Structure 1
Amino acid sequence: MENIVPFLVRAMTESDVAAVRQLETASFSDPWTERLLLETLQCPYDESWVLTGSRGEVCGYINLRFLGDEGELMRIAVAPGLRGQGLSRRLMDRMVSSAREKGARDLTLEVRSGNETAINLYKAYGFKREAVRRGYYRDPKEDAWIMWLRSLPGTPS
């Protein structure tokens, strides 16, 4: 029998910020600061969740911003040693569920044009590339794809 480690997605709290900051540093060339992470927890437009392991350790997180009937995926990260196990899908499922609860009709995000793993994840959820920001990212310099999920399935039209 396969040994399956349980993971839980729950709302992010201030006590998670230091661990999420470590994920930021391991995942992004321009990581968010602890101050910015704390501000997202206080912002009425943002929602953040963490993915925790069996010992309660933070293994991933996601941040979304909702304005009107639009949601934007601001950040998603999974600990480097746990990538490739479908954990980002747990976070994406939470995002889609929350977007439906909030009545969001569309979702958007931006992603490095060379991040094929993330792009494939987003495409699996129905996101399509609609625009490009040339040279948007630095370290290394790279284009950003702007992807949209128009008419979120399961929301009223």
Structure 2
Amino acid sequence: MSEVVIRKMEFTDVEQVLEVERASFTTPWTTDVFYQEIVDNHHAHYFVLEVDEKIVGYVGIWIVVDDAQITNIAIMPDYRGQSLGERLFGFVIQLLQHIGAKRLSLEVRVSNIAAQRLYRKFGLVPGGIRKNYYTDSGEDAIVMWVNLS
């Protein structure tokens, strides 16, 4: 059985995280954006998911006072369908509850039904639409949120 570990992202993880990013998103973040998030953004917290010591997923969260927002969450395509995204999202929920965050929100593509299904499992509900949110396609985003307390 494979060993799955979720841990805080380190500088040395950025290249592997970029592989996940590029495989998952049509407009992936750059190396500079990740370094800026890790070094300069004191609200940002990033975690990687490893399977047998290989990074196959990651999540980014901004925490401001008691509000949290998922910036990105992704699993390598070859590792999808194994509940790893659910495991990573569950980790985030537990972490946020542990530190006393009251709300969690995120944006998700209208077309990303699989992700919406996952978020609903954790109690997130649609709260609105951001029109033309995604710059690559002009697709709308659904804002989803949940009260954690």
TM normalised by structure 1 equals 0.90
* Displacement of 1:27: 0.7
CA distance in structure 1 between the aligned counterparts of 2:133 and 2:69, rounded to whole angstroms: 18
Identical amino acids, percent of aligned pairs: 32
**Following TM superposition, where does structure 1 have runs of at least 4 consecutive aligned residues deviating by more than 6 angstroms?**
none
Unpaired stretches in structure 2, ≥5 consecutive residues: none
The equivalent position to 2:33 in structure 1, one of 22, 31, 36, is 36
Q: Select which of 12, 20, 23 maps to 1:23.
A: 20
Which amino acid in 1 is paired with 2:45? E
Deviation at 1:137, TM superposition (A): 1.4
Match of 1:73 in 2: 70
Query: How far apart in 1 are the matches of 2:32 and 2:99?
Result: 26
Matched, 1:128 2:125: yes
1:49 to 44, 47, 68: 47
Q: What is the total number of aligned residue pairs between the two structures? A: 148
Does the residue aligned with 1:136 lie in a helix, a strand or coil?
Answer: coil
Contact 1:9/1:90 (<8 A) preserved:
no
**C-alpha distance in 2 between matches for 1:141 and 1:44:** 30
After TM superposition, give the deviation of residue 89 of structure 1 in Å.
1.2
Distance between the aligned counterparts of 1:65 and 1:138, measured in 2?
Answer: 21
Q: How many angstroms does 1:139 deviate by?
A: 3.1
For the residue of structure 2 that corresponds to 1:95, the secondary structure is helix
- The answer as to whether partners of 1:64 and 1:73 remain within 8 angstroms in 2 is yes
What letter corresponds to residue 25 of structure 2 in structure 1? Answer: F
Normalising by structure 2, what TM-score?
0.95
Kindly provide the CA deviation profile for residues 31-70 of structure 1, in whole angstroms up to 9, marking residues without a partner as x: 111111112212221111101111x111100000001110
Q: Which structure is larger by alpha-carbon Rg, 1 or 2?
A: 1
Unmatched 5+ residue regions in structure 1? none
